[in-house]
Amino acid sequence: MTPGEYKSCGRDIAILYSFAETPFGRALVLSTDRGICGIEFTDGKDSAALKKAKARWPLSTFAANPESENEISARIFEEPSAQRQPEKPRLLLRGTNFQIQVWSALLRIPEGSIVSYGDIAKAIGKPSASRAVGTALAANTIAFLIPCHRVLRASGLFKSYRWGAPRRWSMLGWEAARREGEHINASVPVGSLAKTARAS
């Protein structure tokens, strides 16, 4: 999202919403013609989740798109095969420059791997910003695709997770299984995280 669109709270952006069943529970999915802009687990509170989403995008238009439910879920959670690797869905990110940097770094963490807040801070060139990284993770509203579930404290302990610790464990276990029995890495070298994209 451009800085101007961010400042205008998404004015004139058309958002299609649907509720999809996922391996980790029912989720509200928000999408635009430029990519997915929201995935939030509803935990049985569909109306409340939609209300919060509209509050975050107060100047955007919302329209239901129930026909896309199965298609979106299949694309996000498609199993890889020897013949085909799933194509990652496009995302429309709305946040501050710092948040975009953090979220972009998360997109470069290999599936099934774990990094620390400090690793992310170093990857974006701000090694003393671990606490701010945690705040940016808490602001993430695109669950799973922006994988904040892969970031733990350096001690290995979980901080609070927006969608619940049991769901985080489920995601990590599911990803580990997809790696055909490989062990989850204790860490990923900071150098393996590619340069993050700037907000534009």
Q: Which residues pair with 151 in a beta bridge?
A: 115
The share of the chain scoring above pLDDT 70, in percent, equals 75
Of 98, 16, 91, whose CA–CA distance to 60 is shortest? 16
Q: Is residue 120 part of a domain?
A: yes
Structural domain range at position 177: 97-192
Q: How far apart are CA 99 and CA 135, in angstroms?
A: 9
Which tokens belong to 99?
């948040």
Same domain, 17 and 53: yes
Instruction: Choose, from 28, 120, 146, 148, the residue flagged as catalytic.
Output: 148
Q: How far apart are CA 82 and CA 55, in angstroms?
A: 43
Cβ atoms of 140 and 162 within 8 Å: the answer is: yes
Residue after which a domain boundary falls, among 23, 43, 76: 76
Question: pLDDT for 135-157, tens place per residue?
Answer: 999 999 999 999 999 998 765 56
Q: Is residue 81 part of a domain?
A: no
User: In total, how many domains does the chain have?
Assistant: 2
Question: Quick check: 15 pLDDT over 80?
Answer: yes
Q: Is residue 183 part of a domain?
A: yes
Question: Quick check: 72 pLDDT over 60?
Answer: yes
- pLDDT score, position 152: 85
Same domain, 185 and 106: yes
Q: Is residue 82 part of a domain?
A: no
Question: pLDDT for 96-114, tens place per residue?
Answer: 999 999 999 999 998 888 9
- pLDDT score, position 191: 44
| Distinct helix (H) and strand (E) counts, the chain | 7, 6
Radius of gyration of the chain (CA): 17
Q: Is residue 197 part of a domain?
A: no
- pLDDT score, position 2: 62
Name the pLDDT band for 179 (thresholds 50, 70, 90): confident
In sequence order, which residues have a C-beta less than 8 Å from that of residue 32 and are 6 or more positions away?
Answer: 13, 14, 15, 16, 92
Q: Is residue 51 part of a domain?
A: yes
Same domain, 70 and 101: no
Cβ atoms of 35 and 21 within 8 Å: the answer is: no
Residue after which a domain boundary falls, among 76, 111, 134: 76
Q: Which residues pair with 29 in a beta bridge?
A: 18, 39
Cβ atoms of 196 and 136 within 8 Å: the answer is: no
Same domain, 166 and 106: yes
What CATH number is given to the structural domain containing 173? 1.10.10.10
Q: How far apart are CA 93 and CA 144, in angstroms?
A: 14
Q: How far apart are CA 20 and CA 71, in angstroms?
A: 9
- pLDDT score, position 3: 63
Which tokens belong to 95?
């946040």
Q: Is residue 54 part of a domain?
A: yes
- pLDDT score, position 78: 73
What CATH number is given to the structural domain containing 22? 3.30.160.70
Residue after which a domain boundary falls, among 76, 109, 134: 76
Active site residue 9: no
CA quadruple 111, 114, 120, 122: dihedral sign: negative
Cβ atoms of 15 and 61 within 8 Å: the answer is: yes
- pLDDT score, position 182: 47
Same domain, 110 and 44: no
